[in-house]
């Protein structure tokens, strides 16, 4: 890893789970009416042919993990479960009234928060309530995020019987000093128990999430974590950089000083060490920050050019419409984005008033759709082209000019009206996408909005 390149390209930048990125949404011209119309159009265009995706946000956690940037509510009171599930099912019914015809679900993912904060009985109530008014696509995939400390065999068995075949467990790092700093104490044995239980029950894709760049973390810690992970051989691994954004996430990420964080060069070295170990173990790099065995659906999607990226991260297939349920969830009609309110009490109030609880969003322009496609191509396939006139925008010459410097650094190569990211350039994929991000180029933020790219 060239330290000078790390220093040059280690800048604040988006992770591009969407384009436009959330800080550049045009909230002023957005309305709930426009969002409903765009979703109805998208649903009518795509439901029969490919189905829809659902994301359900369950925000409750029993303790605060200081590395986490997700929307959550810390509580040990489990009587919050039933009212929340009732509200989510009511929100789903509001969407069902909006859509013409019975939705066909292709993907469903439960995130949080801590989904396994909820009892298996309440999770069953939630999923059965959703499926009661929907059909399933032939190749549907259901997944959820499990906390190794509280995911029981009953959780796993219940969700498996409801159609879930994929689960991801948050590992982060096995070093005790790092775990103490991020307030996430979980022994290897807990992860092993949850992983083996899922495999025994029949889950076909088990994932582990590992983070580098955490406070007090070193290359030795990353190596040890991956060596232990190899003992369990999960089907896929999300190996990604810690996003330090305390100015956005408040006190949750202020449990340590910035001096306790590895430098940009050190973070990149941690990644390179981890990547080499994963490659040696038989994992293939998929897109950005993801690794999978050849038997996993994510790897198969990559080699068949079906890999997609949305607010849920990388997925093995694309649906045009994605509906997010629960507080802070983001929905995507392809023509527009919307986000639900973040406060639970406000969410309940709007649901009780029979109002879809959206508080902001963005309707995509023709230019947005073109740039979005280029960024998706880069994030999923490491290349994009503009041989088709419909993929040309006014700023194309400016974009090419910026990329020429990256070409000189060996990060990209140009072919006729196309560009490919080199293996050397893959760690800088966010920087390449930023060259296409015309909204970011037109209006550089005055305050820091994003985590560092390296």
For residue 381, give the CATH number of its domain: 1.10.10.920
In a domain, 294, yes or no: yes
Burial of 380 (0-12, 13-18, 19+ CB in 10 A): buried
Query: Residue length, the chain?
Result: 454
Question: Is 43 a known ligand-binding residue?
Answer: no
Between vectors from CA 147 to CA 142 and to CA 149, what angle results, nearest 5°?
140
pLDDT for 444? 79
Same domain for 308 and 194, yes or no, is: yes
Domain end residue (candidates: 317, 332, 347): 332
Same domain membership, residue 4 and residue 36: no
Distances (CA, A) of 251 to 168, 297, 303: 26, 37, 42
Q: How far apart are CA 359 and CA 340, in angstroms?
A: 6
Q: Is 152 annotated as a binding residue?
A: no
Do 59 and 157 lie in one domain? The reply is: yes
Can you tell me the distance from the alpha carbon of 40 to that of 49, in angstroms, rounded to the nearest whole number?
Answer: 15
Report the pLDDT value the prediction gives residue 254, as an integer from 0 to 100.
53
The parent domain of residue 275 ranges over 24-332
Residues 73 and 163 in one domain: yes
Instruction: Provide the number of structural domains found in the chain.
Output: 2
122 and 229 share one domain: yes
Query: Is 28 annotated as ligand-binding?
Result: no
pLDDT for the residue 438: 95
Q: How far is CA 234 from CA 172, 239, 242, 279, 291, in A?
A: 14, 12, 21, 14, 10
In a domain, 391, yes or no: yes
Domain boundary among 308, 332, 356: 332
| SS3 category, 402 | helix
Collapsing DSSP states into helix, strand and coil, what is residue 419? Answer: strand
Task: Flag whether 209 is marked binding.
Answer: yes
184 is in an annotated binding site: yes
Report the distance separating Cα 332 and Cα 335, nearest Å.
Answer: 7
Q: In the beta sheet, which residues pair with residue 332?
A: 322, 337
Examine residue 88 and state whether it is found in any structural domain, yes or no. yes
Same domain, 13 and 55: no
Residue by residue, pLDDT tens for the chain (454 residues) are: 566 888 888 888 888 989 999 999 999 999 999 999 999 999 999 999 999 999 999 999 988 887 777 788 889 999 999 999 999 999 999 999 999 999 999 999 999 999 999 999 999 999 999 999 999 999 999 999 999 999 999 999 999 999 999 999 999 999 999 999 999 999 999 999 999 999 999 999 999 999 999 999 999 999 999 999 999 999 999 998 887 766 455 545 455 777 889 887 888 899 999 999 999 999 999 998 999 999 999 999 999 999 999 988 899 989 999 999 999 999 999 999 999 999 999 999 999 999 999 999 999 999 999 999 999 999 999 999 999 999 999 999 999 999 999 999 999 999 889 999 999 999 899 999 999 999 999 987 766 667 677 7
Considering the domain architecture, whether residues 375 and 438 belong to the same structural domain is answered as yes
65 annotated to a ligand binding site: yes
In a domain, 441, yes or no: yes
Cβ atoms 316, 300 nearer than 8 A? yes
Q: DSSP class of residue 313?
A: E
How much is the pLDDT for 247? Answer: 47
Structural domain contains residue 348: no
Q: Is 112 annotated as a binding residue?
A: yes
Q: Is 173 annotated as a binding residue?
A: no
Is 265 part of any domain? Answer: yes
In a shared domain, residues 410 and 428: yes
Residue 243 is assigned to a ligand binding site: yes
Q: Do 206 and 293 lie in a common domain?
A: yes
User: Would you say residue 225 lies in a domain?
Assistant: yes
End-to-end CA distance of the chain: 11
172 is in an annotated binding site: yes
Ligand-binding site membership of 61 (annotated): yes
Question: Is 110 assigned a ligand-binding role in the annotation?
Answer: no
Alpha carbon distance 266, 12 (integer Å): 17
Q: CATH number, domain at 136?
A: 3.80.30.20
Of 332, 355, 377, which residue sits at a domain end?
A: 332
Same domain, 135 and 263: yes
Residue 360 belongs to a domain? no
Q: Render 38-97 in DSSP notation, one character per residue.
A: HHHHHHHHHTTTT-EEEEEEE-EESS--TT--S--EE-S-GGGHHHHHHHHHHHHHHHHH
Q: Report yes or no: 292 and 285 within 8 Å, Cβ to Cβ.
A: no
**In terms of domains, do 29 and 6 share one?**
no
433 is in an annotated binding site: no
Cβ contacts of 200 within 8 Å, gap of 6 or more: none
The verdict on 125 and 257 lying in the same domain is: yes
């Amino acid at each position: 890893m060239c330290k000078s390149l790390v220093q040059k390209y280690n800048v604040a930048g988006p992770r591009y789970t969407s384009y436009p990125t959330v800080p550049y949404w045009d909230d002023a011209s957005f309305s709930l009416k426009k969002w409903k119309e765009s979703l109805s159009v998208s649903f009518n265009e795509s439901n029969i042919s490919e189905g829809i995706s659902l994301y359900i946000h369950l925000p409750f956690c029993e303790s605060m993990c200081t590395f986490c940037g997700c929307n959550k509510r810390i509580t040990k009171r489990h009587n919050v479960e039933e009212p929340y599930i009732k509200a989510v099912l009511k929100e789903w019914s509001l969407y069902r009234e909006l859509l013409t015809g019975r939705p066909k679900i292709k993907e469903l993912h439960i995130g949080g928060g801590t989904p396994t904060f909820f009892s298996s009985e309440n999770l069953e109530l939630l999923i059965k309530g959703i499926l009661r008014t929907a059909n399933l696509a032939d190749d549907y995939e259901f997944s959820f995020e499990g906390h190794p400390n509280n995911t029981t065999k009953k959780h796993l068995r219940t969700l498996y019987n409801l159609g879930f075949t994929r689960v991801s467990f948050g590992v982060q790092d096995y070093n005790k000093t790092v775990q103490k700093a991020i307030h996430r104490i979980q022994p290897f044995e807990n992860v092993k128990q949850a992983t083996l239980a899922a495999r025994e029950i029949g889950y076909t894709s088990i994932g582990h999430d590992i983070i580098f760049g955490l406070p007090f973390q070193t290359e030795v810690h990353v190596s040890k974590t991956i060596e232990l992970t190899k003992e369990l051989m999960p089907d896929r691994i999300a190996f990604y950089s810690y996003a330090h954004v305390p100015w956005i996430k408040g006190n949750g990420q202020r449990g340590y000083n910035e001096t306790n964080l590895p430098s940009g060069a050190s973070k990149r070295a941690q990644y390179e060490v981890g990547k080499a170990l994963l490659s040696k173990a038989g994992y293939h790099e998929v897109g950005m920050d993801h690794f999978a065995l050849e038997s996993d659906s994510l790897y198969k999607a990559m080699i068949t050019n079906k890999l997609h990226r949305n607010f849920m991260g990388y997925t093995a297939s694309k649906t045009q419409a994605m509906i997010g349920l629960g507080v802070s969830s983001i929905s995507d009609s392809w023509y527009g984005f919307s986000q639900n309110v973040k406060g639970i009490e406000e969410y309940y109030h709007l649901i009780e008033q029979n109002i879809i609880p959206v508080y902001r969003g963005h309707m995509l322009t023709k230019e947005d759709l073109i740039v979005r496609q280029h960024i998706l191509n880069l994030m999923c396939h490491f290349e994009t082209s503009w041989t088709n006139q419909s993929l040309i925008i006014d700023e194309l010459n400016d974009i090419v000019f910026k990329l020429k410097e990256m070409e000189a650094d060996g990060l990209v190569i140009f072919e006729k009206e196309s560009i490919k990211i080199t293996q050397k350039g893959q760690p800088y994929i966010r920087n390449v996408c930023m060259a296409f991000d015309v909204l970011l180029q037109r209006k550089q933020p005055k305050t820091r909005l994003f985590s560092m790219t390296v």
